[in-house]
Amino acid sequence: MLKNILIIDDEEKLRHLLARIIRSEGFEVFEAADLKSGFKKLEHNDIDAVLCDVKLPDGNGVDFLQKIKAAFPFTEVILLTAFGKISDGVQAMKNGAFDYIVKGDDNDKIIPLLYKALEKVQLQKKVKQLEKRISDKYSFDNIIGKSKGLEQVIDLAQRVSKTDSTVLLMGETGTGKEVFAQAIHENSNRVGKSFVALNCSTFSKEILESELFGHKQGAFTGAIKDKKGYIEEANGGTLFLDEIGEMPLELQAKLLRVLETSEYIQLGDTKPRKSNFRLIAATNRDLKVESEEHRFRSDLYFRLNIFEIKIPPLRERVKDISPLAHYYVKQFSEKINKKALSIDEGFMQKMESYQWPGNVRELKNVIERSVILVNGDVLTQDVLPYEMQHQVVKTNKSVSAFSMQSVEKLHIQKVFNYTKGNKAETARLLEIGIATLYRKLDEYNIQ
């Protein structure tokens, strides 16, 4: 791509000479005799680099540099002067100049400097494009689905994204909690800063503490050098703690202190450090129940629960299954160079009647498998996994008043009403596990 260079110099002969030299390198060159006409050239052309004299009829190039960088941040500026004053050079660099050279003495440096400046311009533009791609990828507009439940969740996430409030994302495994966390970050005032994600269920207590807070060399066996923690890495940006319900109680106390004071101490150190980050936490557990049963600190739960967002499971937003399926069919078809595939009615019926215990993540895997297995250009139910092909479709038919199911449902409803909806207490009185109670409440549609 042709690079555009602007020369601003009131010495006409020197300006024309520089223009000829730079054009011989294959660049497009624009010329201006003063700052006013130079800025007009910048406004009407996509200028990559500027060679600008310091002393001009209508101003000083060192001061003008600030105006250029404010309006065109990706344009690099090399200042030229007949008088090499150290103070001017220092101020020029502070104002954002790429370099500062003396006319005559440094003429042989101009072309090499231009190439270096243009390399920097190209790199900056690539970084900006990558940032835009990431921002577009995690835009709320790119969250797929049209169900009312999903729309409500997106609305809540959009509202909280512009604040610095802590967010607690609740939802089953595979519902897309990290996607929402990324979208909140990319639509926040911290966009462009670090988004650091840590899964609390992946590590042992000792390793998780080191990953979170960092450590000094020699803090423990194997700590051969200093290591930054995720809290430090997230400074200025967002820290996403996934599966925070799995965090050991001792670490919960340390995390609470960080949230209250913005201070933390690395392992093996005694000096407090500060980190300004926005916390987004996620869990598939009911932290209220966990805190009531003393498996999660209640003070940390209340500190996290400033703004809670519950992401509904896929089985509760059937309207989203079709658009998700079509999106992933297109994605995986392109990935393995298959022609466009369509979905037949039987395939979609099985998809929409399935309970999706693994939610969107499971749907994505099923679609990838189906796209690989299909021989023709239509996805039919015979490429679905066995359990989906032979699933027993639930109906809304009420159970018989004489069946054991009916007796069980009535008894659970009675105890649930007695405890005023307290699930932990209901499970205790029924002498069943909390997970079993949740399954029964869902099965019998008890609310």
Rounded Cα distance, 426 and 416, in Å: 6
The pLDDT confidence band at residue 51, using thresholds 50, 70 and 90, is very high
Written as six digits, the tokens of 137 are: 């990828």
Give the mean model confidence (pLDDT) for residues 186-200. Answer: 92
Structure confidence by residue, pLDDT tens digits, 93-138: 777 888 888 876 666 788 898 999 999 988 888 877 776 565 556 6
Which of the four pLDDT bands, split at 50, 70 and 90, describes residue 47?
very high
Give percent of the chain above pLDDT 70: 92
The CA distances from residue 61 to 46, 49, 53, in Å, are 20, 14, 6
Residue 367: closest CA among 326, 307, 415, 395: 326
- Phi first, then psi: give them for residue 261, nearest 5 degrees: -120, -15
Strands 273-274 and 263-264: antiparallel
What's the mean pLDDT when you consider all of the chain? 88
Residue 248: strand, helix, or coil: coil
In this structure, are residues 80 and 52 in contact, taking their beta carbons and an 8 Å threshold? Answer: yes
CB 267 within 8 A of CB 220: yes
Cα torsion 181, 186, 191, 197: sign: positive
Q: CA-CA distance, 431 to 437, in Å (whole number)?
A: 10
User: How many CB atoms within 10 Å of residue 238?
Assistant: 24
Can you say how many angstroms the Cα of residue 95 is from the centroid of all Cα atoms in its chain? 32
pLDDT score at 286: 92
Angstrom distances, CA of residue 246 to CA of 174, 277, 434, 439: 16, 21, 17, 21
pTM of the entire predicted model: 0.64
How would you label 169-201 residue by residue, b for 16+ Cβ within 10 Å and e otherwise? Answer: bbbbebbbbbbbbbbbbbbbebbebbbbbbbbe
Over residues 241-270, the pLDDT tens digits come to 999 999 999 999 999 999 999 999 999 999
Positions of E strands within 227-291:
238-242, 263-264, 273-274, 278-283
Report the pLDDT value the prediction gives residue 140, as an integer from 0 to 100.
Answer: 86
Q: Is the pLDDT of residue 396 over 70?
A: no
* Cβ pair 215, 268 in contact under 8 A: yes
Q: Is the pLDDT of residue 405 over 80?
A: no
Q: Return the structure tokens found at 378.
A: 């239509």
Report the amino acid identity of residue 200.
C
Count the neighbouring beta carbons within 10 Å of the beta carbon of residue 45.
12
Q: Say if CB 194 and CB 238 are below 8 A apart.
A: yes
Q: Which of 383, 365, 359 lies closest to 373, judged by CA? A: 383
- Residue 220: its pLDDT value, please? 85
CA pseudo-torsion sign 367, 373, 377, 383 = negative
